[in-house]
Chain A
Amino acid sequence: MTIDEYLLRLENNLLTGSARWVADFTESFRHYKIEDTVWDMVVRGHMRGKGLFLSRLFAYLSLPNYQVACFVYTRELGDSDLRRMARHLLGYMKGEELDWCWLVLPREGPFSSRLQVALEKIDYRELGIALVNISSREIFTNPSYVGRRLRDHVKCFR
């Protein structure tokens, strides 16, 4: 599987697949530029689903309307780049009033052990990060709750 094929599957999974159990991801942008970073994919959404009659009423009464997003970046990253990117994203989230975010970093090959150690130390509760090795189908996530939930939804290799 190539990176492009994985991105298509991930996008499909976010918009119409299993990720809809977590949030209603509605809009996907490719090659989306934010300041000086070009993201391969940015998917925006919210947590209050629409539905019909009863499900809409239930969602309105019981679910918080959190604004959420999923960012995907496929270029090479070092451990310091990862920390910088996480801080950059947190700043962007504040500006855009996003309540939580996923950051997915897929690549065809293994990640360095330094990057994995750096990932384990990133514990912002509103940010989930996943390193996805498409070749071996290994997934590493940061220890926050949002990060642990991300694992099931980036596992779209088939």
Chain B
Amino acid sequence: MKTIAPLHIGNLIKSLAIALIILSLAWSTISFLITGDILIIPAVLLLNLVLAVGLGYFYYRWRYHSVLAYNGQGFRLQRGRKLTIGQWADFYQVSLVHLGYGNLAVRLYKVEGDNTLDIPTTDLKLDASALRFELMDLVKGTPPPPPPKKPKA
């Protein structure tokens, strides 16, 4: 299986920033409740920074880290803690989607139900257009779902 699992620096920095803000707010609240003032102590700031790196990295792995492994039959997509395993034969159509803020994804349409699955190509540092064409070839043989039956009068 071909596996793609890059470290997305943008998402990692976002996670570190979130952790640092939460820790700083927590320290400010605790020091205000105890002393009636917000204490700024260099050692505590340094400790917050070290803790933020650890917590931020954990949060990044838990929320954002994306891993895609695939071959001619199927794929395994992990986005944070969410794991999806599928076969190309379960999908019949592929599109390129702009999710906003310059983030692109390849969308797969499932044969059964109205479900879609997005492969976050920007997070995986992949060429969205090239992956789209590659996946179009892989799902080519799958027939589209039959049109919905009209309800009886």
Q: How large is the interface on A (under 10, 10 to 19, 20 to 34, 35 or more residues)?
A: 10 to 19
Does A30 lie within 8 Å of B132, measured CB to CB? Answer: yes
Does B95 lie within 8 Å of A27, measured CB to CB? Answer: yes
Chain B neighbourhood of A25, CB < 8 A? 98
User: What sequence of 0s and 1s flags, for each residue 35-59 of chain A, a beta carbon within 8 Å of any chain B beta carbon?
Assistant: 0000000000000001000000000
- Contact (A15, B104) CB under 8 Å given A30-B132, A30-B136, A31-B136: yes
- Distance (whole angstroms) from the CB of B86 to the closest CB of chain A: 20
B146: CB under 8 A from chain A? Answer: no
- Contact (A8, B102) CB under 8 Å given A15-B96, A26-B97, A29-B93: no
- Distance (whole angstroms) from the CB of A16 to the closest CB of chain B: 6
User: What sequence of 0s and 1s flags, for each residue 16-28 of chain A, a beta carbon within 8 Å of any chain B beta carbon?
Assistant: 1000000001111
Number of interface residues of B (CB under 8 A): 13
Q: Nearest chain-B residue to A14 (Cβ)?
A: B98
B79: CB under 8 A from chain A? Answer: no
**How far is A116 from B108 in the complex, measured between Cα atoms in Å?**
38
Does A28 lie within 8 Å of B96, measured CB to CB? Answer: yes
Chain B neighbourhood of A31, CB < 8 A? 136
Where chain A touches its partner, the secondary structure class is: strand
From A11, A15, A27, A30, give the contact of B107 (CB < 8 A).
A27
- Contact (A27, B136) CB under 8 Å given A11-B129, A16-B102: no
Chain B neighbourhood of A15, CB < 8 A? 96, 98, 104
From B100, B104, B107, B133, give the contact of A50 (CB < 8 A).
B100
Q: Which of B87-128 contact A (CB under 8 A)?
A: 93, 95-98, 100, 102, 104, 107
Chain B neighbourhood of A30, CB < 8 A? 132-133, 136
**How far is A50 from B98 in the complex, measured between Cα atoms in Å?**
12
Chain A neighbourhood of B107, CB < 8 A? 27
**How far is A31 from B144 in the complex, measured between Cα atoms in Å?**
14
Q: Nearest chain-A residue to B130 (Cβ)?
A: A8
Chain A neighbourhood of B93, CB < 8 A? 29
User: What sequence of 0s and 1s flags, for each residue 97-140 of chain A, a beta carbon within 8 Å of any chain B beta carbon?
Assistant: 00000000000000000000000000000000000000000000
Chain A neighbourhood of B95, CB < 8 A? 27-29
Chain B neighbourhood of A29, CB < 8 A? 93, 95
- Distance (whole angstroms) from the CB of A10 to the closest CB of chain B: 12
Top-7 shortest CB links A-B: A15-B98, A28-B96, A29-B95, A27-B97, A27-B95, A26-B98, A50-B100
Chain B residues within 8 Å of A, Cβ to Cβ: 93, 95-98, 100, 102, 104, 107, 129, 132-133, 136
- 10 more contacts with CB within 8 A, not counting A11-B129, A16-B98, A25-B98, are A8-B129, A15-B96, A15-B104, A16-B104, A26-B98, A27-B97, A27-B107, A29-B95, A30-B136, A31-B136
